[in-house]
């Protein structure tokens, strides 16, 4: 590591970014030095991606300073960021699947000879040299379609090196890699550091942060928390910084008697997504499915509801096995599913509230093969009132409602089917704080009425405040089942970032 | 898909044998085979189809206009868009050139070609501009301009026709000229083809068209000038349609307001048959041109074989479906093969 007084390659100070009323990044500082690998950690939604996108030229900052080598810069396009020597490697590599490896490395800046003709020989020679230097074997002439994520990342890195990027930002590069591939990536990262480049590494895995990085910056809720050398910190201290907030706030959880198991899932497996998932949800109980984004939580929920299939395992509702891959059967049996993306998957935005609420009970409203507006309104009225949907009338377009009210409409739609089990994916994402607690109160009341609720949430306070039991997933497997008493920010976070073998049962 | 990089890669150290195999696998080869079978079968029934001055001339001349159209359309399809207005652009340009001859009887043939191509390019610029500004898919925009251009043509022409006697003699002579037994218009189409193929293979902006069609979001992240390239591809498509319009006028000498109707679908069909994937990012103009040659030959061979025109359309349709299914099967097989290779250490 270089001395602290050396001019940093890249320095952000007091950078903020808002989207409308939502503050995505608040007062962030970041200093990247040559010959150093800098980790940025934080929960989902902590503002890491926004930070990356500002450096990549995809977003423009609202406030603060941005300097490279001590000179102020401001990137308006990705091309400008690239020209200044900032290269970003995204979690999902962005390559051109129909083009060759060589073309992917050089697209947009191919070496040219006479008449602007691309010098293919020079291009290929350089790629061969780059691959040798990175110590990997990838055929430069093959198309990139079908390459593993790890190989695609290597191509992205080769691209960055051939650009002579001085700052390399890797956004969760290891999320989809196997152990061997991670080792290879780390070896490449270390050799780039030793060449004097500045690297920034975003990861959820603490072991990787400590193994690879010399400095770590922690972020939380869009706010910069602290930057410390990894040698002077440890996992518990980092977890505390990541989640360190009062989690006992505003969760009106009512204690209710817990009944019989409503949903029983055993040995559910879908190769590549999740494996050997077994759990149950009982009447009156709220069970949270916690974990990091990409851990496979939504995939499990979709499989339970029958949107996606699975290869092994069973799903039983009140003791009756559900057929796989049949959402209609799941609905009929009494499962309601509130998806994460309510605007895309939960609502018909152009349709009236009444139509949306009655969407899932259409066939019950049919009389003489027609659905009258009157029958629709009558059915909708009941649920809109019960959930206190705030709108001018039931004819109001769903798309014009606030996020919280939209969520209530989706809830009303499923409650109208009188379900026995409600699966809710990210119940309060994108909902303002005031309405959040209202949604939580509704969920609590519903559980009190004997409904079994399976809640997927990435927000720790919500998980800890609402759930009777917490199931934690890590990379497609259940790593912990914690009672309300056992669930703490540290225990959930630990289980979410470690494999089953490392989590004591 | 393999067509792009399999061609004349000087640095690739591949044996002659595997090169030959690669050549055999290419779409162009199978189209050429289909073309030869078609010609031989037709000639067996009616030798004058090939072995007469007129038969020979038509065999070479008929594909020329379709080739030029298919080359232009291929530029747009490679970027994952489509241009439905080329038939109307072609008709409007043909009528425009005819009208220009009425106004200026002494116009040299070269000027007619240049003005027609430029006019077509201008209509293409309009298409591209609308696509880029309105951010509406090219299919919708060009469906609109297809009718607008045709409507303008009908409004302008009414029921009048432009006849050969109203156009320049050197212009019409060029339309029917032969050099060393090859029609001049065919030579023109081949020259255009060679330039377009060279450009798409060797020039940055040409390669960027493939990149944009292959992964539009990635193209944005790479910082490629996506809008400019899209605009350029539509200008190219329009210019080629304009050139085709001038060729149409020079060859037939009679232009009514319905000239070029239905050509757009023939051109798109030719490109697709020739292996230009409708999903963008792959295929070559050479393939598109070969597709056009095959289509044009089928159009003229089936009547000789005594097959009703109803069936001709069915054959063309079957070819397009066959090409798309073949593309899909090949793509799935290749993907599976690539993944299987990856699984083996």
SS (H, E, C) A477-501: EEEEEEECCCCCHHHHHHHHHCCHH
Please give the CATH architecture assigned to the domain spanning B26-340: Orthogonal Bundle (1.10)
User: B342 and A148 in contact by Cβ < 8 A?
Assistant: yes
Nearest to A98 among B203, B281, B337 (CB): B281
Q: Confirm if A377 and A339 have CB atoms less than 8 A apart.
A: no
With an 8 Å Cβ cutoff, the interface of chain B facing chain A consists of 1-2, 4-5, 9-12, 202-204, 207-208, 210-211, 213-215, 217-224, 281-282, 334-335, 337-339, 341-342
Residue B79 CA, chain-centre distance (Å), reads 15
Cα–Cα distance measured from residue B110 to residue A393, given in angstroms and rounded to the nearest whole number: 69
In terms of Cβ atoms closer than 10 Å to its own Cβ (0-12, 13-18, 19+), residue A182 is middle
pLDDT range class, residue B96, cuts 50, 70, 90: very high
Are A141 and B203 a contacting pair at CB < 8 A?
Answer: no
CB A172 within 8 A of CB A202: yes
* SS3 call for A107: coil
Q: Measured between beta carbons, which residues in chain A are less than 8 angstroms from residue B10?
A: 120-121
| Residue A148 confidence (pLDDT) | 79
Partner-chain contact B214 A78, CB within 8 Å? no
Residue B133 has pLDDT above 80, yes or no: yes
Q: Does B344 have pLDDT greater than 90? A: no
Question: What average pLDDT does this structure show over B7-26?
Answer: 54
Averaged pLDDT of chain B: 86
Q: In percent, how much of chain A has pLDDT > 90? A: 24
Of A78, A112, A141, the CB nearest to B204: A112
Residue written as tokens 């009389």? A367
Structure tokens at A414: 């499923």
> CB–CB of A79 and B223 under 8 A?
yes
pTM of the model: 0.73
Instruction: Tell me whether residues B224 and A141 touch, CB distance under 8 A.
Output: no
pLDDT level of residue A432 (50, 70, 90 thresholds)? low
Interface of A with B in 148-207 (CB under 8 A): 148, 151
Q: Which listed CATH number (3.40.50.300, 3.40.190.10, 3.90.1300.10, 3.10.105.10) goes with A10-95+147-243?
A: 3.40.50.300
Q: How many CB pairs under 8 A join A and B?
A: 96
- A363-420 pLDDT, tens digit per residue, is 888 877 788 888 888 888 888 887 778 777 888 888 877 777 888 888 888 888 889 9
| B210 contact residues in A (CB cutoff 8 A) | 96, 98-99
- Contacts made by residues B274-279, CB under 8 angstroms, sequence distance 24+: B274/B27, B274/B28, B274/B31, B274/B70, B274/B74, B274/B323, B275/B3, B275/B27, B275/B28, B275/B323, B275/B327, B276/B74, B276/B77, B276/B78, B277/B1, B277/B77, B277/B327, B277/B331, B278/B77, B278/B82, B278/B324, B279/B80, B279/B213
User: How close is the nearest chain B Cα to the Cα of A433, in Å?
Assistant: 33
A254 interfacial to chain B (CB closer than 8 Å): no
Question: To the nearest whole angstrom, how far is the Cα of B162 from the nearest Cα of chain A?
Answer: 42
Interface predicted TM-score (ipTM)? 0.83
Strand stretches in A154-298, DSSP E:
167-171, 198-202, 215-220, 223-229, 261-270, 274-282, 286-291
CB spacing of B282 vs A116 below 8 angstroms: no
Is the pLDDT at A249 greater than 80, yes or no?
A: no
- C-alpha A95/C-alpha B211 separation (Å) is 9
Q: Do the chains contact at A108 and B208, CB–CB below 8 Å?
A: yes
> Phi and psi at residue A220, in whole multiples of 5°?
-155, 130
**Cβ pair B203:A118 closer than 8 A:** yes
Above pLDDT 70, what percent of chain B? 91
pLDDT tens across A30-80, in order?
Answer: 999 999 999 998 766 678 888 898 998 888 889 999 999 989 998 888 888
Verify whether the Cβ–Cβ distance A121 to B11 is below 8 Å: yes
Q: Do B202 and A141 touch (CB under 8 A)?
A: no
Using the Cβ of A103 and the Cβ atoms of chain B, whether some distance falls under 8 Å is answered with yes
Using CA coordinates, name the residue in chain B closest to A160. Answer: B222
Find which of A96, A104, A137 to mutate to test the B interface (most B CBs within 10 Å of its CB).
Answer: A96
Instruction: Please give the residue of chain A at the shortest CA–CA distance from B277.
Output: A98
Minimal-distance CA residue of chain A relative to B12: A141
* Model pLDDT, residue B345: 42
Kindly tell me if the per-residue pLDDT of A251 is higher than 80.
no
CB contact under 8 A, B208 and A107: yes
Q: Provide the shortest C-alpha distance from residue A96 to chain B (in Å).
A: 5
Q: Which residues contact A255 (CB under 8 A, 6 or more apart)?
A: none
- Cα A258 from Cα A251, distance rounded (Å): 19
Tell me which of A54-63, A386-395, B212-221, B330-339 is least confident.
B330-339
Q: Do B211 and A96 touch (CB under 8 A)?
A: yes
pLDDT at A316: 92
Q: Given B221, B334, B338, which is nearest A94 (Cβ)? A: B221
Q: Which residues in chain B are contacts of A151 at CB distance < 8 A?
A: 342
- For residue A210, give the H/E element and its range: helix A206-212
Q: Which of A145-154, A459-468, B266-275 has maximum average pLDDT?
A: B266-275
Give the model's confidence band at A489: pLDDT under 50 very low, under 70 low, under 90 confident, else very high.
Answer: confident
Chain A positions touching B220 (Cβ under 8 A) are 78
State residue A434's pLDDT score.
Answer: 59
Higher pLDDT, B328 or B17: B328
Mean pLDDT of chain A: 85
Say which of A79, A112, A141 has its CB closest to residue B5: A141
Cβ contact B221–A78 (<8 Å): yes
What is the band of B122 on the pLDDT scale with cuts at 50, 70, 90?
Answer: very high
User: Which of A192, A216, A197 has its CA nearest to residue A86?
Assistant: A197
Lowest mean pLDDT among A263-267, A317-321, B321-325: B321-325
Nearest CB among B9, B12, B210 relative to A99 is that of B210
Is B16 a residue whose pLDDT tops 70? Answer: no
Q: Sorting pLDDT into bands at 50, 70 and 90, what band is A252? A: low
The answer to whether residue B13 scores a pLDDT higher than 80 is: no
Confidence of residue B142 (pLDDT cuts 50, 70, 90): very high
Local confidence band at B339 (pLDDT 50, 70, 90 cut-offs): low
Q: Does residue A418 contact residue A334 with C-beta atoms inside 8 Å?
A: yes
B322: pLDDT strictly greater than 90: no
Across the interface, whether the CB atoms of B11 and A125 are under 8 A apart is answered: yes
State mean pLDDT over A459-488. Answer: 88
Has residue A500 got a pLDDT over 80?
A: no
Judged by a CB distance cut-off of 8 A, whether residue A377 touches chain B is no
Closest Cα of chain A to B296: distance in Å? 29
- Does the pLDDT at position B6 exceed 70? no
Q: Answer yes or no: do B222 and A146 touch at CB < 8 A.
A: no
Pick among B6, B11, B284 to test the A interface (most A CBs inside 10 A): B11
Tell which of A80, A81, A89, A108 to mutate to test the B interface (max B CBs under 10 Å): A108
CA distance A88 to B221: 10
Q: Which of A174-178, A398-402, B174-178, B242-246 has the highest mean pLDDT?
A: B242-246
When pLDDT is averaged across residues B14-41 and rounded to a whole number, the result is: 74
Q: Please give the average per-residue pLDDT across B237-263, as a whole number.
A: 92
Q: How confident is the model at residue B187 (pLDDT cuts 50, 70, 90)?
A: very high
Residues contacting residue A431 through CB under 8 Å, at least 6 positions apart: A403, A404, A407, A439
Residue B190 pLDDT > 90, yes or no?
Answer: yes
- Every domain of chain A with CATH number 3.40.50.300 lies at 10-95+147-243, 249-334+419-505
Q: Which CATH code, of 3.40.50.880, 3.30.1360.30, 3.50.50.60, 3.40.50.300, is assigned to A249-334+419-505?
A: 3.40.50.300
**Region A19-28: what's the mean pLDDT?**
78
Give the lowest-confidence range in A117-131, A244-258, A367-381.
Answer: A244-258
Q: Does A115 score more than 70 pLDDT?
A: yes
The H or E element containing residue A40 is: strand A36-41
In chain A, residues with a C-beta closer than 8 Å to the C-beta of B282 are: 98
Q: CA angle, corner B24, sides to B22 and B30, nearest 5?
A: 135
Over residues B6-33, the mean pLDDT reads 61
Nearest to A221 by CA among A46, A48, A52: A46
Indicate the residue of B11, B338, B341 with minimum beta-carbon distance to A120.
Answer: B11
Nearest CB to A146: which of B9, B204, B339? B339
Give the pLDDT confidence score for residue A246 in this predicted structure: 46
| Residue among A29, A453, A407, A470 nearest A247 (CA) | A470
Report residue A135's pLDDT band, with 50, 70 and 90 as the boundaries: confident
pLDDT of residue B21: 63
Tell me which of A135-139, A446-450, B21-25, B326-330 is least confident.
B21-25
Q: pLDDT class for A344, splitting at 50, 70, 90?
A: confident
A395 within 8 A of A352, measured Cβ to Cβ: yes
pLDDT value of residue B341: 66
- The dihedral through the CA atoms of B98, B104, B107, B112 has a sign that is negative
Task: Give B-chain residues touching A272 at CB under 8 angstroms.
Answer: none
Instruction: Please give, one letter per residue, the 3-state secondary structure of chain B.
Output: CCHHHHCCCCCCCCCHHHHHHHHHHCHHHHHHHHHHHHHHHHHHHCHHHCCCHHHHHHHHHHHHHHHHHHHHHHHHHHCCCCCCCHHHHHHHHHHHHHHHHHHCCCCCHHHHHHHHHHHHHHHHHHHHHHHHHHCCCHHHHHHHHHHHHHHHHHHHHCCCCECHHHCCHHHHHHHHCEECCEEHHHHHHHHHHHHHHHHHHHEHHHHHHHHHHHCHHHHHHHCCCHHHHHHHHHHHHHHHHHHHHHHHHHHHCCECCCCCCCHHHHHHHHHHHCCCCCCCCCCCHHHHHHHHHHHHHHHHHHHHCCCCHHHHHHHHHHHHHHHHHHHHHHHHHHHHHHHHHHHCC
Q: How far is B214 from chain A (nearest CA, A)?
A: 5
Q: Which residues of A touch B204 (CB under 8 A)?
A: 108, 110, 112, 116, 118
Average pLDDT over residues A329-357: 86
Whether residue B12 and residue A141 make contact (CB cut-off 8 A), yes or no, is yes
Q: Which of B255, B205, B270, B197 is nearest to B231 (CA)?
A: B205
A316 and chain B in contact, CB less than 8 A: no
């Amino acid at each position: 590591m270089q001395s602290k007084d050396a001019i940093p390659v890249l320095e952000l100070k007091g950078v903020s970014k808002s989207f409308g009323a939502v503050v995505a990044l608040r007062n962030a500082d970041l200093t990247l030095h040559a010959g150093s690998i800098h980790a940025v950690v934080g929960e989902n939604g902590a503002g890491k991606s926004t930070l990356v996108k500002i450096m990549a030229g995809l977003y423009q900052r609202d406030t603060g300073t941005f300097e490279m080598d001590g000179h102020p810069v401001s990137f308006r396009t990705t091309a400008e960021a690239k020209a200044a020597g900032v290269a970003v490697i995204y979690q999902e590599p962005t390559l051109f699947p129909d083009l060759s490896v060589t073309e992917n490395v050089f697209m947009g800046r191919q070496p040219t000879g006479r008449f602007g003709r691309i010098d293919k020989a020079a291009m290929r020679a350089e790629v061969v040299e780059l691959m040798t230097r990175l110590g990997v074997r990838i055929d430069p002439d093959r198309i990139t379609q079908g390459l593993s994520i790890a190989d695609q990342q290597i191509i992205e890195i080769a691209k960055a090196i051939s650009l002579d990027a001085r700052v390399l930002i890797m956004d969760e590069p290891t999320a989809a890699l196997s152990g061997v591939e991670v080792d290879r990536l780390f070896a490449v990262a270390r050799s780039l550091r030793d060449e004097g480049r500045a690297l920034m590494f975003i990861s959820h895995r603490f072991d990787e942060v400590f193994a690879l990085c010399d400095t770590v910056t922690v972020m939380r809720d869009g706010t910069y928390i602290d930057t410390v050398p990894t040698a002077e910190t440890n996992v518990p201290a980092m977890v505390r910084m990541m989640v360190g907030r009062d989690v006992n706030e505003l969760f009106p959880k009512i204690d209710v008697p817990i009944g019989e198991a409503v949903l029983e899932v055993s040995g559910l497996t879908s190769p590549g997504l999740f494996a050997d998932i077994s759990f149950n949800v009982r009447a009156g109980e709220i069970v949270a499915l916690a974990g990091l984004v990409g851990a496979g939580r939504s995939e499990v929920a979709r499989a339970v509801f029958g949107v996606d299939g699975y290869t092994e395992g069973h799903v039983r509702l009140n003791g009756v096995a559900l057929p796989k891959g049949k959402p209609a059967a799941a609905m009929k049996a009494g499962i309601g599913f509130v998806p994460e993306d309510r605007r895309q998957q939960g609502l018909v935005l152009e349709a009236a509230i009444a139509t949306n609420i009655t969407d899932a009970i259409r066939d019950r409203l049919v009389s003489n093969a027609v659905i009258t507006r009157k029958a629709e309104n009558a059915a909708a009225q009941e649920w809109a009132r019960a959930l206190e949907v705030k709108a001018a009338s039931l004819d109001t377009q769903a798309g014009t409602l606030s996020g919280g009210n939209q969520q209530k409409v989706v809830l009303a739609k499923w409650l109208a089917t009188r379900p026995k089990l409600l699966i809710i994916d990210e119940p309060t994402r994108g909902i303002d704080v005031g309405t959040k607690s209202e949604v939580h109160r509704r969920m609590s009341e519903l559980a009190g009425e004997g409904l079994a609720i399976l809640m997927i949430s990435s927000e720790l306070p919500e998980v800890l405040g609402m759930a009777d039991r917490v199931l934690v997933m890590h990379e497609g497997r259940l790593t912990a089942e914690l009672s309300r008493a056992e669930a703490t920010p540290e225990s959930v976070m630990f289980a979410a970032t470690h494999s089953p073998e490392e989590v004591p049962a | 898909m393999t067509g792009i990089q399999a061609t004349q890669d000087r640095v690739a150290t591949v044996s002659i044998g595997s090169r030959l195999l690669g050549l055999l696998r290419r779409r162009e080869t199978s189209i050429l085979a289909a073309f030869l079978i078609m010609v031989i079968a037709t000639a067996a029934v009616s030798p004058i189809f090939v072995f007469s001055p007129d038969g020979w001339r038509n065999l070479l001349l008929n594909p020329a206009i379709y080739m030029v159209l298919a080359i232009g359309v291929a530029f747009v399809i490679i970027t994952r868009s489509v241009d439905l207005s080329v038939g109307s652009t072609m008709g409007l340009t043909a009528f425009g050139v005819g009208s220009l001859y009425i106004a200026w009887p002494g116009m040299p043939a070269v000027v007619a070609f240049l003005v027609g191509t430029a006019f077509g390019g201008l209509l293409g610029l309009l298409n591209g501009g609308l696509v880029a500004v309105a951010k509406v898919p090219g299919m919708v925009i060009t469906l609109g301009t297809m009718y607008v251009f045709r409507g303008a043509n009908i409004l302008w022409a009414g029921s009048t026709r432009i006849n050969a006697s109203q156009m320049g003699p050197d212009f019409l002579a060029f339309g029917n000229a032969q050099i060393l037994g090859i029609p001049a218009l065919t030579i023109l189409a081949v020259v255009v083809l060679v330039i377009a193929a060279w450009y798409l293979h060797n020039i940055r902006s040409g390669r960027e068209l493939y990149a944009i069609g292959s992964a539009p979001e990635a193209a944005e992240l790479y910082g490629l000038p996506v809008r400019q390239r899209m605009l350029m591809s539509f200008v190219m498509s329009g210019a080629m349609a304009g050139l085709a319009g001038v060729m149409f006028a020079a060859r037939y000498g009679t232009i009514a307001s319905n000239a070029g109707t239905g050509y757009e679908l023939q051109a798109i069909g030719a490109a697709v048959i020739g292996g230009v994937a409708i999903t963008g990012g792959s295929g070559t103009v050479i393939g598109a041109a070969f597709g056009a040659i095959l289509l044009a030959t089928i159009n003229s061979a089936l009547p000789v074989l005594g097959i009703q025109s109803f069936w001709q359309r069915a054959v063309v349709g079957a070819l397009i479906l066959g090409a798309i299914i073949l593309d899909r099967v090949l793509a799935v097989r290749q993907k599976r093969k690539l993944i299987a290779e990856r699984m083996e250490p």
